[in-house]
Chains A and B, each alone.
Chain A
Amino acid sequence: MNWKAFAAMLARDAHVARRNAIQLFLQTFLQPLLFVFIFGRVMVGSGYLPAAYKSLLLPGIIAISMVFTGIWAVAMPLIAEFQWTREIEDRLLAPIGVAWIAIEKVIAGMLQALVAGLIVIPLAWLVLRPGVEISIGAPWTFAGVIVLVATFSACGGLALGCSINQQHIGLMFGMVITPMIFFGCTYYPWSALKTFPILQKAVLINPLVYASEGLRATLVPQFPHLSIKVVLMALLLFDLVLLVVGLRQFEKKAVS
C-alpha cells in the first residue's frame, strides 16, 4: 500500500470537487430542497398534509441527498473515465495496487455523501421551520448510520459505475435510481406500507429503505421505524456486498 499515491489521488479528487463546487451544490441540493419546499411548506401550509409530515419528511430527504450524492460522485466519473476520456489510466499506471484506486474513489464518494448529508440538514430545517421536531438522542448511533449510508452509496456508485455502459446511463436512472427512490421509504415510513404486505416485504431488498429508516430512527424516533439493530446490520451487509462486487467489476474493467 502506497500512502503517498493514495493521498495524492484523494487530493486530486478534492481539487476537482472544489473546482466544480457550485455545480455539485446545485446538482445535490436543488431537487431535495424543492421537494422539501413543496411538500413541507406548500402542502402542509395549505392543510393537505398534517404538520407532523415535516418532521417525517426530513430524514428521507437527507437519505436521498446522501445516497445520490455518493452514487453520482463515484459512478458518473467512472463511467466517463473508463469509456470516453480514459483519464483513469493515469491513475491505473500509478505505483499502487489497482484495488486501492477503487477504494480511493469510494472514500472520496463517502466524504461527498457525508458533506451532502451534513449540509442538507440545516438547509432543509431552514426551509421547513417552524415545526420540525428533530432530536439526536443517540449521537453515536446517528454517526454510525450516516457513515454506513455514505459507504453504501459510494460502494453502490462503484458497482454501478463499473457495470454500466455510457449509453445506458439513462436506463440506469429509469430502472434503478427512480424505483429506488420511490420504494425507498423516503417520503413515507416503512410501516405505511402495511396495507400492501407483498410490497412491504419486497422493498426490503432496497438499501435506501434502511438508510431512510435508520435516519428516521435516530432523528425522529417519535415516528414508527424499523429497529435500529436491523438497520445497522442490513446497511453493513449492503456495504460489504456492494464493495466486493464493485471491486471485482473495477478490476475487470481496469485490465483488458
Chain B
Amino acid sequence: MAVGVRTQDLRKVYSTAPPLGAAGLFIARADAKGGKQPKTQIPALDGLSLDILPGEIFGLLGPNGAGKSTTIGVLTTRVRPTSGQAWIGEHDVWKEQTRVKHLIGVVPQRPNLDFSLTAREILIFHAAYFGIGSKQRNERADALLARFKLTERANQMVRGFSGGMMQRLSIARAMMHDPQVLFLDEPSAGLDPQTRILLWEIIREYHQTGRTVLLTTHNMEEADTVCQRLAIIDHGHVIALGTPARLKASIPGGFLLRLRFGNQTADLLQRLQLLAGVREVRAADSTGADVYADRGGSLIPEIASLAANSGAELSDVHISEPSLENLFLHHTGRSLRD
C-alpha cells in the first residue's frame, strides 16, 4: 500500500535575529538610532496546498527562494510551519513525528553526510537507526554502493569525496531503510550527465515498487521525463499544477518568441497582437516583447516588416518550442535561469 503526501494551506515565516555585535554596533548604528534591531521576517510559504497521490513521482519546480526546500522541510519534520498542516499518509507530520520519520527518506539540498565515518559506515549506521538487522543492512549497503558506483570508495572517509560522490551517497543513504516516501531536494545538482541518467533510472525503479517520490529540480528535462505530475511554485504558493504534457499544452500557442527592438512603441505591441497565430503579447522591459504564438519561424518575416514599418528595428529574436521553461516564464514573468 503506497503512501500519499498532503499539505493544507502551509505558511512559513522565518524570523532571523540580526547578527550579533558587528552589524548592530558599527554599521547599523547610524540608521537604527541605538534602538534594538528588529528581527527580519522572511515569508517562505504562503498558503501552499498540495495533494500528492500514493505511488506518484511528483516534481516541485520553481525559482530560487520559491519555497521548495521549505516545503520539503515541513514535510520531513525539519521546519515547523507557522500555520497549516501536513500529512504523510494519514499521519500528521507535526503530531506523529516519529511515525512519520519511519515512512520517509530524505535527500537534502545541502549535503549532511557524517564526516566522521566512511561511506559504508554511513549507510550501516543509518540502517541501524531504523532498526534494520545487521545481516540485512550489510546486504543492502553493498547493493546500494554497487548501484551508485561507490563500491571502490566504500571504505574511505567521505571527507575526501567529490561533490557528486557525496550526492550519490546521500541518495543511497535515503534509500537504505526502503522508505515509503522519498524526498529528493535537487537530487541531480552536481551530477554528471551519465550519473543523472542513472539516477533517473533508479528513481523510476524505486517508484515501480510502489513508492512515492517527491523531488525538486531546476532541470526541465528532469521534470519533463521523470515526473508524472508537477507543481510550479513561486513566492510560496502553487501557481500551476498538472502533468508535464498538460502543463505544456496550457502555454498559449506553445511557441514563444522573445523579441528585442531598437525602440518599441505601444502601437507596435498592438499590431503584433493582430498577426495570424499570435495568442498573447507581453511587453518585457522597455525594449523587448514576449510573443506566444501557434507558429514560430514563419512569423519572423511578418514581425520584421511590422517593426520596420513602425520605425522600431528588430534587433534580436529567440524562438523556443513548447517547454516547461516557457510555461514557467508564462506564469511568473521570470525565466527559471534568471
Asked whether A and B interact, the reply is yes
Give me the interface of A with B, judged by CB distance under 8 Å.
2, 4-5, 8-9, 11-12, 15-16, 19-20, 85-98, 165, 255-256
Q: Which residues of B are found within 8 Å of A94, using beta-carbon distances?
A: 101, 129-130
Question: Is the CB–CB distance between B115 and A96 below 8 Å?
Answer: no
Q: Which residues of A are found within 8 Å of B111, using beta-carbon distances?
A: 86
Question: Is the CB–CB distance between A2 and B98 below 8 Å?
Answer: yes
Known A256-B14, A256-B79; judge A86-B128 contact (CB<8 A): no
Compute how far the CA of A154 lies from the CA of B131 in the bound complex, rounded to whole angstroms: 26
The smallest beta-carbon distance between B74 and chain A, in angstroms, is: 10
Known A4-B128, A8-B125, A15-B121; judge A97-B78 contact (CB<8 A): no
Q: Which residues of B are found within 8 Å of A165, using beta-carbon distances?
A: 20
Binary A-proximity of B48-86 (CB < 8 A = 1, otherwise 0): 000000000000000000000000010011111000000
Compute how far the CA of A11 lies from the CA of B125 in the bound complex, rounded to whole angstroms: 9
Which residue of A has the minimal Cβ distance to B80?
A255
Which residue of B has the minimal Cβ distance to A19?
B116
Which residue of B has the minimal Cβ distance to A84?
B115
Q: Which of A5, A85, A90, A96 contacts B173 (CB 8 A)?
A: A90
Q: Is B117 an interface residue (CB 8 A)?
A: yes
Which residue of A has the minimal Cβ distance to B126?
A90
Q: Which of B78, B112, B117, B131 contacts A4 (CB 8 A)?
A: B131
Question: Is the CB–CB distance between A91 and B129 below 8 Å?
Answer: yes
Question: Is the CB–CB distance between A8 and B129 below 8 Å?
Answer: yes
The smallest beta-carbon distance between A135 and chain B, in angstroms, is: 41
Which residue of B has the minimal Cβ distance to A94?
B129
Known A95-B129, A256-B79; judge A87-B98 contact (CB<8 A): no
Question: Is the CB–CB distance between A89 and B125 below 8 Å?
Answer: no
Compute how far the CA of A24 lies from the CA of B129 in the bound complex, rounded to whole angstroms: 25
10 smallest CB-CB distances across A and B, nearest first, come from A8-B128, A94-B129, A86-B112, A4-B131, A89-B112, A87-B114, A95-B102, A95-B101, A16-B116, A5-B129
Interface residues of B in 106-136 (CB under 8 A from A): 106, 108, 110-117, 121-122, 125-126, 128-131
Q: Which of A11, A15, A19, A86 contacts B110 (CB 8 A)?
A: A86
Binary A-proximity of B254-286 (CB < 8 A = 1, otherwise 0): 000000000000000000000000000000000
Binary A-proximity of B204-231 (CB < 8 A = 1, otherwise 0): 0000000000000000000000000000
The total of chain B residues at the interface (CB under 8 A) is 33
Question: Is the CB–CB distance between B125 and A95 below 8 Å?
Answer: no
The smallest beta-carbon distance between B224 and chain A, in angstroms, is: 30
Q: Which of B80, B112, B113, B173 contacts A256 (CB 8 A)?
A: B80
Compute how far the CA of A9 lies from the CA of B78 in the bound complex, rounded to whole angstroms: 19
Which residue of B has the minimal Cβ distance to A5?
B129
Q: Which residues of B are found within 8 Å of A86, using beta-carbon distances?
A: 108, 110-112
Which residue of A has the minimal Cβ distance to B183?
A93
Please name 13 pairs of A and B residues whose Cβ atoms are closer than 8 Å in the assembled complex, sorted by A: A4-B131, A5-B131, A8-B129, A12-B117, A15-B121, A20-B116, A87-B112, A93-B78, A94-B101, A95-B131, A96-B98, A96-B129, A255-B79
Q: Is B97 an interface residue (CB 8 A)?
A: yes
Compute how far the CA of A9 lies from the CA of B106 in the bound complex, rounded to whole angstroms: 18
Question: Is the CB–CB distance between B114 and A90 below 8 Å?
Answer: yes
Known A15-B121, A96-B98, A256-B80; judge A87-B131 contact (CB<8 A): no
The smallest beta-carbon distance between B280 and chain A, in angstroms, is: 40
Question: Is the CB–CB distance between A90 and B14 below 8 Å?
Answer: no
Compute how far the CA of A94 lies from the CA of B100 in the bound complex, rounded to whole angstroms: 10
Compute how far the CA of A9 lies from the CA of B129 in the bound complex, rounded to whole angstroms: 7
Compute how far the CA of A96 lies from the CA of B102 in the bound complex, rounded to whole angstroms: 9
Question: Is the CB–CB distance between A16 and B117 below 8 Å?
Answer: yes
Known A16-B117, A87-B112; judge A93-B125 contact (CB<8 A): no
Question: Is the CB–CB distance between A256 and B131 below 8 Å?
Answer: no
Compute how far the CA of A4 lies from the CA of B122 in the bound complex, rounded to whole angstroms: 17
Question: Is the CB–CB distance between B128 and A93 below 8 Å?
Answer: no
Question: Is the CB–CB distance between A95 and B126 below 8 Å?
Answer: no
